[in-house]
């Protein structure tokens, strides 16, 4: 329902972006990539406020869903989020609860939260439970797989992130036990005994091979092993958890509270990693956060998008309670700070998110997401054939 003075959505506009990386191909054990992509979403309300969001995934696949869901949003109250997402998931249950359609809903949801917080003149974190911190510990998402898989190249890449002040790093493995150990050893040498070294298989292995690989890493003290098997392999996750390996992280390929329910309830994960730009935005991330808290699990969101996704993730982290460890100690709350080449990451914001001294990430302080989109830049770089412009 809408009422007098209650803002409604009057416009939805998208900015599908793609940056080719012909001279800097990199990726994971599963696949190398020659481009970075994202779709920004701008939602305008009847009171003149504009909110921005980001949808994960190839713009050409996300665009049709944004056109459909954006049209349905026109004229709707701008302060309704959960009903909007759950209604689409319920009516479209044949589509499943994951994929580009949920990524599209995620972008719209983030934009609605941004607009609502800007209407009140507060950061989104203030609406998520209250801002608890001004910065958060960060790990450099680096150590990517390159075509030559050269260890000297890897060492140089990691030395660059260490020089930025990071004290924690995540590297890509899943290339086989021997090579996984060699890559992890390089990371340990660069970051020292006191640094945190996280390893990410990107689901490029089986439970048996992941167990062999992880056993070879034991003396190098990996902080966690991420996505050791595909997200649908619940038995594989269960076997790895029972094997007494380092903490297991996962969730970047899961969508909505429904996708996270069983992995959390069945004890498959130690660290829960929703991605705001695909899991359902702030609305579903809040539900996932509550599920993780109910099972006393750590939350560490996945973030591999533009500066807008970074700002949204930082707003979420600003309001994550200090439970169970308390503010004085325990495991750190961590922000994933991608350091791979991505012209979109810095290009979309007037003032990009930058690492702070001590390996931390500052949480933007302004209203909404706390950042300003460089609208001239995104208009100049968007893919016109896949742009959506809707007006009430």
- Could you give the residue numbers annotated as active site? 302
User: Counting every residue, how long is the chain?
Assistant: 392
* Angstrom distance (rounded) from CA 210 to CA 213: 5
Write the DSSP symbol of residue 168. Answer: E
* Angstrom distance (rounded) from CA 136 to CA 54: 21
Spatial CA neighbour of 385 closest among 41, 21, 39, 60: 60
* Angstrom distance (rounded) from CA 125 to CA 113: 10
Given a contact cutoff of 8 angstroms between Cβ atoms, the answer to whether 336 and 303 are in contact is: yes
* Angstrom distance (rounded) from CA 4 to CA 1: 10
* Angstrom distance (rounded) from CA 162 to CA 150: 19
Q: What are phi and psi of 267, to 5 degrees?
A: 70, 35
For 24, the token pair is: 């800097």
Given a contact cutoff of 8 angstroms between Cβ atoms, the answer to whether 139 and 100 are in contact is: no
* Angstrom distance (rounded) from CA 253 to CA 96: 14
For 77, the token pair is: 């109250």
Write the DSSP symbol of residue 57. Answer: S
Given a contact cutoff of 8 angstroms between Cβ atoms, the answer to whether 157 and 142 are in contact is: yes
């Amino acid at each position: 329902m809408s009422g007098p003075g209650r803002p409604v959505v009057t416009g939805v506009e998208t900015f599908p972006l793609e940056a080719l990386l012909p001279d800097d191909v990199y990726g994971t054990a599963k696949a190398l990539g020659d481009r970075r992509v994202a779709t920004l979403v701008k939602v305008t309300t009847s009171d003149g406020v504009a909110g921005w969001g980001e949808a994960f995934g190839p713009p050409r696949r996300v665009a049709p869903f944004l056109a459909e869901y954006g049209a349905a949003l026109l004229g709707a109250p701008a302060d309704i989020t959960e009903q909007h997402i759950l209604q689409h998931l319920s009516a479209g249950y044949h589509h499943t609860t994951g994929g580009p359609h949920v990524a599209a809903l995620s972008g719209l949801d983030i934009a609605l939260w941004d607009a609502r917080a800007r209407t009140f003149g507060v950061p989104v974190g203030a609406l998520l439970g209250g801002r608890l911190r001004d910065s958060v510990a960060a790990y450099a998402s680096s150590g990517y797989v390159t075509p030559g898989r050269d260890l000297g190249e890897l060492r140089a890449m990691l030395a660059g992130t260490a020089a930025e002040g990071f004290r924690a790093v995540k590297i890509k493995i899943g290339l086989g036990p021997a090579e996984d150990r060699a890559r992890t050893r390089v990371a340990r040498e660069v970051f020292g005994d006191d640094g945190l070294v996280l390893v990410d298989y990107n689901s490029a292995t089986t439970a048996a091979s992941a167990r062999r690989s992880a056993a070879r890493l034991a003396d190098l003290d990996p902080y966690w092993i991420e996505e050791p098997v595909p997200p649908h392999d619940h038995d594989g996750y269960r076997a790895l958890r029972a094997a007494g390996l380092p903490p297991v992280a996962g969730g970047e390929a899961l969508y909505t509270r429904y996708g996270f329910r069983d992995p959390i309830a069945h004890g498959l994960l130690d660290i829960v990693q929703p991605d705001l730009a695909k899991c359902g935005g702030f609305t579903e991330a809040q539900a996932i956060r509550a599920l993780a808290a109910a099972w006393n699990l750590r939350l560490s969101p996945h973030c591999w998008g533009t500066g807008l996704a970074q700002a949204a993730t930082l707003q979420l982290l600003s309001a994550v309670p200090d439970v169970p460890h308390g503010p004085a100690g325990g495991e750190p709350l961590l922000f994933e700070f991608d350091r791979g080449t991505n012209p979109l990451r810095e290009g979309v914001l007037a003032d990009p998110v930058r690492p702070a001294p001590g390996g931390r990430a500052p949480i933007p302080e302004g209203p909404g997401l706390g950042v300003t989109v460089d609208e001239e830049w995104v208009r100049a770089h968007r893919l016109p054939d896949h742009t959506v412009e809707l007006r009430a």
